[in-house]
């Protein structure tokens, strides 16, 4: 029995040792339609307040735009497949729902550490120059991951893997090495539109198109101002992100929680937090609770806004006092959300005889 001892094969074995469940290679120019699609999306204004998408669009359009010397892209995926149903808190309005990816250790740090280790190994084995990227750089990880064979961009615009469903953190290594590319992923969504139907705010104007301005993940994480009233009721008890379109994907039945990195396991205080507890946090308390979590970057005020929207949707009059304590908050966005929430809860309060 022959053993494949090529550099590409050894690279993938090393990636697996470092915790990546998926590793593929694409040529640096393997996703030519990315630029066209990105320009059209930005022209529609569908990126909302994410102005950095527009400011560095020329870097995102293809790897050469960011680093002309790049010849190959190594796309990698680390699983965070959940052990429990991501939708389990949908009927628990007194609890806040946090997206699965943010319930454990901040993936940026963990994935980047593993990428750097893989990069050091590659340089030692084959030389060349390289750069590593995790999410924060102007890199279009999803189309590159599709080009490298990790999966395909589904109708919800996220990557879908045959083995890991919709639960992959993506990273990329650009290198000057000319590596043998893998076969690109093939779209296997077929006629399924489960992710489209699952969206509470109709954020998909068409399959494979996302209007971020209507997306709950965008509204609760990236958007800094008041959440438009037309979306507030639909947000329900989601206080950071939304998993609905991901959780609806039938390919998730093949995703095994055992393949997920243990560091991404939910922290007890983030798996099912009580809204009353979160509403009581000051800035120091917020920083303490969310230390080491990607949630920390949105700051206390944005989290209070989100929790107040959830409280207003809860139908729980017991939360009225916690909401009322924020009516005079120093932040005007928090005050606005508190006023909206108290107006919904006040009629539910038991009146004294």
Q: How far lies 49's CA from each of 55, 218, 300, 303, 316, in Å?
A: 12, 9, 19, 17, 32
> Contact, 292 vs 106, CB < 8 A?
yes
Phi, psi values for residue 27, rounded to 5°: -70, 155
Identify the residue whose tokens are 């909206």: 340
Q: How far lies 40's CA from each of 45, 159, 211, in Å?
A: 9, 20, 12
Angle at Cα 114 formed by Cα 138 and Cα 245, nearest 5°?
A: 60
Does the annotation mark 135 as catalytic? yes
Neighbours of 309 (CB within 10 A): 28
CA atoms in the 13 A half-sphere facing the CB of 94: 9
Structure tokens at 260: 């997920």
Q: Rounded to whole angstroms, how far apart are CA atoms 282 and 343? A: 23
Q: What is the DSSP letter of 318?
A: G
Among candidate residues 135, 187, 193, 336, the one labeled active-site is 135
Structure tokens at 100: 């699965």
Q: Is 250 helix (H, G, I), strand (E, B) or coil?
A: helix
Is residue 98 within a helix (H) or strand (E), and if so which, with residue range?
Answer: strand 97-98
* CB contact set of 337 (below 8 Å; sequence gap of 6+): 226, 227, 304, 305, 308, 309, 312, 326
Q: Which residue numbers are catalytic?
A: 135
């Amino acid at each position: 029995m022959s053993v494949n001892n090529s550099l590409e094969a050894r690279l993938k074995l090393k990636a697996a040792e470092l915790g990546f469940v998926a590793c593929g290679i694409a040529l640096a120019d393997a996703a030519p339609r990315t630029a066209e699609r990105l320009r059209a999306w930005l022209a529609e204004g569908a990126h909302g307040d994410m102005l950095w998408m527009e400011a560095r669009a020329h870097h995102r359009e293809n790897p050469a735009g960011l680093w002309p010397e790049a010849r190959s892209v190594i796309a990698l995926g680390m699983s965070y497949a959940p052990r429990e149903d991501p939708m389990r808190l949908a009927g628990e309005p007194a609890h806040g729902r946090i997206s699965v990816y943010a319930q454990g250790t901040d993936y940026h740090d963990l994935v980047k550490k593993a990428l750097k280790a893989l990069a050091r190994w590659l340089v030692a084995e084959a030389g060349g120059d390289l750069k590593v990227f995790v999410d924060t750089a102007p890199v279009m990880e999803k189309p590159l991951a599709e080009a490298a064979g990790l999966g395909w961009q589904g109708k919800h615009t996220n990557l879908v893997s045959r083995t890991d469903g919709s639960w992959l953190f993506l990273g990329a290594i650009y290198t000057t090495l000319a590596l043998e590319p893998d076969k690109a992923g093939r779209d296997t969504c077929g006629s399924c539109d489960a992710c489209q139907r699952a969206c509470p705010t109709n954020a998909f104007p068409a399959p494979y198109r996302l209007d971020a301005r209507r997306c709950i993940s965008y509204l609760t994480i990236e958007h800094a101002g008041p959440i438009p009233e037309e979306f507030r009721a639909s947000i329900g008890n989601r206080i950071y992100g939304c998993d609905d379109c991901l959780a609806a994907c039938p390919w998730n039945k093949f995703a095994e929680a055992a393949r997920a990195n243990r560091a991404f396991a939910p922290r007890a205080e983030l798996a099912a937090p009580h809204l009353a507890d979160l509403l009581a946090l000051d800035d120091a308390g917020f920083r303490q609770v969310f230390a080491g979590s990607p949630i920390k970057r949105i700051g206390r005020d944005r989290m209070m806004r989100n929790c107040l929207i959830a409280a207003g949707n809860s139908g729980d009059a017991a939360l009225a006092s916690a909401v009322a304590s924020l009516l005079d908050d120093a932040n005007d966005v928090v005050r606005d959300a508190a006023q909206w929430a108290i107006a919904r809860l006040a009629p539910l309060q038991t009146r004294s005889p």
